[in-house]
Structure 1
Amino acid sequence: GMACDFSISQDLARFGQAGPKHGSAPIGGSTDFLPLYVGIENAMYSCTVCDPWSAHEAYRMGLLTEVVPALKVDGKYVANPLVVVDKWVDAQGRIVYGRSKTGEDLAKGKELMKSGVVDLTALDEAVEKCCTKLLYTMPNCLSKTINTLRVHKLVFWDMNKESHRDWLALNMATEGKAGFRAFNDGPKDNREVNFIKIRQLLAQGHEWNDELIEVTSPNYQKVQ
């Protein structure tokens, strides 16, 4: 989405990083662009911890142009029932708008999800509306404006793309090899390597090889 000039989402979508959890780094995109959108602290947390944002959170932080509902219950659109959309802050003043619900509220939200159907008509209409607004502008002036705004992203992309490419290639022989295999071949409920064991083995001087991958990856572990 960050490579796009405009990003419109339905509100059941989630946005986040997978890199450090699965053997890569969100370079060539998120590390270049995300701080421009959401600030360095939000970008740092997202890119390292890999907790996803709801569409409503992403919209609040400026990552999206617009968010529209996708779930219909009894023929009417309702906001994503799994996230908080009816209040801005909690009793301690922390922003909770768009955060995932918990406990009984989450259980009720899941039940509502089961009773509805996903209808992306509103998303299609929002995209058409945005395109129509752009249509009613001077073409050359619009192009110049977009290209000038893109420079803020491209300067970081151009600065880092060569080293990013080299790093990604080298990483596939170590953490990428382990993480991608675990994600692709691991059991459905366990597709991450044993992060603690990897750190311990590397601290002991163990080299990156197939033995290290096998003892830390769920897809090589025997089911008891």
Structure 2
Amino acid sequence: MPRRGLRGLFPLIGEELSSEDFDFGDAVDQAPTARVWVDAFTLNVITGLVWERARVIGPLLKTDYAPMFHAGLPHSSLSSVSDPAELAEMDALCAYLHLVETPRSPWVASGVPPLRTPDAEERAAAAARLDGAGALTADQRLLRVLLDDDQPAFEQALTSRLLKHRDSTGPDAAPRTLLPVTAIALAALAVQAHGWALNVRSGYLPAGLLRAPGR
């Protein structure tokens, strides 16, 4: 099948924009890593988009995209090398996506609800992968605590994470200007998947981002 370019005409200014004049690949010099997957997961959780079943976000993240990052994005002309801790983090978050089988393509769909608490065996396996991945980021350490399914321990770790985030933003920064989105997403998992009512209050932890849409 021949490749066809895209053209956009702007008659008022007498200009034309065409894909034949610019190859998107020319502007990209590195392939995404599992870090991008984690960012996509966190944003879909805190915005509530993961609850929109028609978007099939859970199946795309878990069954389509995550395996590609483990394989180094084999269809990309650029090399994708993810940090072991990022891959372990991605795998742990995958376990929170609730998928159900369907009788037709795409064969799996987001369950109701779309987020779930991984069972004890899954949590132990995810924790072991994080423990063996070397140095962890602050958010990866918070995820590691969440996997223990211990609410008081998680609340303590979350409080510590938010305090360190506040200290790193400087005294004049408004709480809502630099939100710790990954930490917020993990808190949302604690609420939506683990079913906890968190006893942590902070300007860096908007309550509206923790609850499922409409709840």
Tell me whether the two structures share a fold, i.e. TM-score over 0.5.
no
Query: Shorter-chain TM-score: what band?
Result: under 0.3
Point out the structure with max Rg over C-alpha: 1
More helix by share: 1
